[in-house]
Amino acid sequence: MVQINSTVGGQRGLDVSLLFHLHPRYPSCPPAISVSSTGLSRTQCHNIRQKLLDQAAALPPEPMVHQLVEGLQQCVQVTEKGRGAEEEVKEREEEEQWTAVLSLDHIRSRNRYISLLRRWSQQLQLNGTILLGRSILVILQGARPNIKEFCRLLKTVKVDVDSSGKKCKERMMKVLIESPSSPSCGHGLQGFVEKSYESLAELSAAFQEINMTELYQQILPSLSD
């Protein structure tokens, strides 16, 4: 066995360990290869290993360890580019502010339900408001992955009670709209606020108060159903 530790990649150099298992008939028989790195996922290490095995199989039956180590550099660069693009998308999603309006089916255990929503919004660094009336609406603003996690919790955690008093999940929740926030949208939305309304005019005023009139116009057809 031959183990080679190498630092490869761009500015963020990755430490990668290659372990070559040399067959008694090496180099007539290509070596088996193991790849490990704390900076790469198991899938990425597996993909690099497969590329090196393919390269080894294509080389003439001559000593090839040095060429495979050189091949590692190219494999990692390709992997890094893919990883860099994924991270860039993820970072952009985390930095960009999104706004979502959710529709809830019912609230029977009001205090428990709203305290859970408030706690989740704090944990996920979301600003929001719940509007209680003919339709129960939750307006959320923050990072898109956090809004998605809030929605997941709503559907998987027992937040309310059903007509028989048993704890139940919010399976009927609907996302009425989810979109990137405009600079003025949601201005004044802080913490998690509870409000009640009795008419569409009052509901419209609540949206206008937080500069979301345009959003209200977009969801209005859904409220009229």
The pLDDT of residue 179 is: 85
Amino acid letter for position 26 = Y
pLDDT for the residue numbered 10: 59
> Which DSSP symbol is given to 113?
H
Decide: 132 and 194 in contact? Cβ < 8 Å: yes
Q: What is the token pair recorded at 78?
A: 């390709």
Mean pLDDT by 10 residues, the chain (225 residues): 82 81 89 88 87 90 90 77 55 71 84 88 91 92 91 83 75 86 66 92 92 89 74
Please give the pLDDT value at position 197: 94
Domain ranges for the chain, please list them.
Answer: 2-81, 97-222
What is the gyration radius of the CA atoms in the chain, in angstroms?
27
Distance of alpha carbon 83 from the chain centroid:
15
Residue 43's pLDDT is what?
A: 85
Q: Which residues are registered as beta bridge partners of 194?
A: 130
Nearest residue to 105 (alpha-carbon basis) of 134, 129, 148, 128: 134
Query: Which residue, 140, 205, 132, 223, is CA-closest to 178?
Result: 140
Positions of E strands within 52-211: 97-104, 127-132, 136-143, 158-161, 167-169, 174-180, 192-196
User: What's the pLDDT tens digit per position in 32-73?
Assistant: 999 998 888 888 888 889 999 999 988 888 999 989 988 888
Task: Determine whether domain 97-222 maps to CATH 3.20.20.80.
Answer: no
- Architecture of domain 2-81 in this structure: Roll (3.10)
Query: Which residues pair with residue 33 across a beta bridge?
Result: 20
d(CA 69, CA 4): 8
**Nearest Cα to 63, choosing from 35, 34, 32, 29?**
29
Q: Which amino acid type is present at position 184? A: S
CB atoms within 10 A of CB 119: 12
Residues 215 and 194: their CA atoms lie apart, in Å, by: 19
